[in-house]
Amino acid sequence: KLQIENNCFGMAGFNRRFTTSYRLMRQIINDDKFGRPYMYMAKYNSSPYPDSDYFLFNHVIHHLDLMRYLIGEIQEIYAEKKVITTQKTGYHIRFISESGILGFLQTASIQCESYPMERVEIAGNGGNVIVDNVKTLQYNRHSINKTEINPSISEGENTLCWNYNQGHSSMYSHYGYERELDCFVKAVLGEGKAENTFEEVEKTMALYENLLEHIMQK
C-alpha cells in the first residue's frame, strides 16, 4: 500500500533469491529438459538462537521465501516442533505447492555452525538438482547406463557441477548481497526492474504467518 500511495518501491533483504547457486537451480528446473519438478527436500540449520520465535522470524523465513522463489506459491504447510531448550528448537516442515510439488524443510537451532548448514534438492522426471551449502550445485541429468565394460562420459548427459573458487569467498556476489544491491540501484536509476519488492514480501509473510498458526495449534 505504501509503495502504491507514494509511487515508489522497496526491496527486502532475502538474499537467497540472488545467490548464484539458487539462480542456476531455478534455471535448471524451469528448463524443459529437466522435466516437471515433483519433490523438494531441504535443510537449513543453525547454532542456538535466543528463542524459537526469533529463530523462525530471522532464520527460517529466508527458506520460506526461497521455496516461493524456486517452486512458486505454497498451497498447504504443516509443521512438527521439537523443543530441547529455549535456545534449541527444531522443526519438520511439510508443504505442498500450488503446482503439486511435495516438499519438506528440516530446520533447527541445535547445530554447530562450523558444519554445513544448508542444502536443497529438487527432483524432476528422471533427474535432480542439488545445492549444497550455497556454494556448490550438482545437476544429475538423464544418463545412459554405466554398467558396461567401457563406460564413457557423454555430451548432454551425466552430472554437471558448479563450485566457485574459495578465493572468491570474500566477494558477496555468489551469496547474493552484491547482486541484490545492484538490482536495487539499477531499479532506482530506471535501468532495471526491482525484484523481491514488498508485494513479494507480503506473500512470504503470509506463508510465515500460516506456518506460525499451524505451530500454535499443536
Tens digit of each residue's pLDDT (9 = 90 or more) over 60-79: 999 999 999 999 999 999 99
Query: How many Å apart are CA 124 and CA 37, to the nearest integer?
Result: 4
Identify whether the C-beta of residue 132 lies closer than 8 Å to the C-beta of residue 119.
Answer: yes
Place of cell 511435495: 102
> Is beta strand 159-163 parallel, antiparallel or unpaired with respect to 136-140?
antiparallel
Average pLDDT, stretch 120-149? Answer: 88
Kindly tell me if the per-residue pLDDT of 217 is higher than 80.
Answer: no
Identity of residue 99: S
Q: Region 104-118: what's the mean pLDDT?
A: 91
DSSP 17: G
Q: Who has greater pLDDT, 33 or 64?
A: 64
In terms of DSSP bridges, do strands 102-108 and 39-44 run parallel, antiparallel, or are they unpaired?
parallel
Residue 94, pLDDT above cutoff 90: yes
Question: CB 107: neighbour CB atoms within 10 A?
Answer: 26
Cell 536495487: give the residue. Answer: 184
**Separation CA 99–CA 71 (nearest Å):** 8
Are the C-beta atoms of 24 and 137 separated by less than 8 Å?
A: yes
pTM for the structure as a whole: 0.89
Q: Structural domains in the chain?
A: 2-142+195-216 (3.30.360.10)
